[in-house]
Amino acid sequence: MEKQIVSILVMLALVCAIVGIGTASTGNQNNTTQSVLNNSISVNGSAAAHPDISSVPTGIYGTDNPLSASTTSNNIDAITASTTGDHSDGVDAYTTGSCSHGVYSYTGGGNSDGVYAITSGVGSDGVYAKTSGSTSHGVIAVTSGANAFGLVGYTYGPGAWGVYANSDKSYGLYASTNVPNGYGIYTPNYIYAKGTKIPNSDIAEYMPVTENVTPGTVMVIAKGGVLHPSSIANDTHVAGIVSTEPGVTLGTKETGNPGEEQIAVAGRVPCKVDASNGPVEEGDLLTTSNNPGYAMKVVDPKPGTILGKAMGTLESGTGTIEVLVTLQ
């Protein structure tokens, strides 16, 4: 027990020396501790509470890592900050040097949050970050564990957003993923937007197919509603074109779409075309060809056989041109 007390006193003396907060030594352990922290201090995972301390009302000041706290025990917080007054910050951190973090937190244990904040007062922010330097991010969250989210926001008050993002110069919210066919933003609920700008120009729908097909292939409906490449001229079963990179995709399943392909049913999309029925010019109506998976120019249009309109030209042979899908 005596060894533990001596260890704690040594640690407190070191903290006082680093922080730059001095006090006359009274030989009283509590007085020495009170000069350092407003509420508590954590040394190697053991907390000593001091609820009635006013000698240092604003916390800790210092240079060169003014406060560093670590724990190795379970269910022990390195730093706990609590306020009940209005306009009171649990933790206020300010830096002016390059590559300096106001708050840096690292956790390695399971179910351990880097930063966990709860607010209940009016006008109280769970986390407030302000930066002015170039390439200085307000909040950076990095996780490597399974099912570990970079940022989680829960709100229960009326009109309270889980995450609110606003920018005067760029994107309010930017999200990306390195996962193939991953979602930058995912929600099982609805998305509301005043307007949507999509760089790609076709609308596709996941549909079942009988075989692996390549983008630009003309597809027709077969038995059981399954699609396969067209192979008959002027086929009334024409369904669409295998999309290259759709702007909007319908019918996406949360678990994936095995055995299905994205079929363009509207908009502009690259399409395999042949000139077996004559050269293709802009504006020509297109239908299915005898050449499997290809479209051709329509000479005598029949209802139900029209795939779309050519947006490009093909003088002879086969090729790929952009087609405006207009099934009719």
Q: What is the pLDDT of residue 208?
A: 96
Q: 318: closest CA among 289, 284, 298?
A: 289
247, 262 Cβ separation under 8 angstroms: no
The ranges assigned to domains in the chain are 1-80, 202-325
Task: Count other Cβ atoms within 10 Å, centred on residue 263.
Answer: 28
Structure tokens at 17: 């020396």
pLDDT confidence tier of residue 213, bands split at 50, 70 and 90: very high
Residue 275 has pLDDT above 80, yes or no: yes
Mean local confidence (pLDDT), 86-109:
80
Dump pLDDT digits (tens) for 166-201. 888 888 888 888 887 778 888 888 888 888 888 888
* Residues with Cβ within 8 Å of residue 143, at least 6 apart in sequence: 149, 150
Q: 263: closest CA among 311, 325, 321?
A: 325
Q: 284: closest CA among 269, 302, 297, 301?
A: 297
Mean local confidence (pLDDT), 38-47:
37
Q: What is the pLDDT of residue 65?
A: 56
- This prediction has a pTM of 0.60
Residue 13 has pLDDT above 80, yes or no: no
Strand 46-49 and strand 40-43: the pairing is antiparallel
Q: Decide if domain 202-325 falls under CATH 1.10.3210.10.
A: no
**Residue with the two structure tokens 């993002």:** 165
Q: What is the pLDDT of residue 186?
A: 83
pLDDT confidence tier of residue 109, bands split at 50, 70 and 90: confident
H-only helix segments in 20-90: 29-34
Q: Lowest-pLDDT range, 45-49, 135-139, 142-146? A: 45-49
30, 55 Cβ separation under 8 angstroms: no
Phi first, then psi: what are they for 223, rounded to 5°?
-60, 140
> Does residue 233 or residue 33 have the better pLDDT?
233
Q: Lowest-pLDDT range, 64-68, 134-138, 303-307? A: 64-68
> Does residue 221 or residue 18 have the better pLDDT?
221
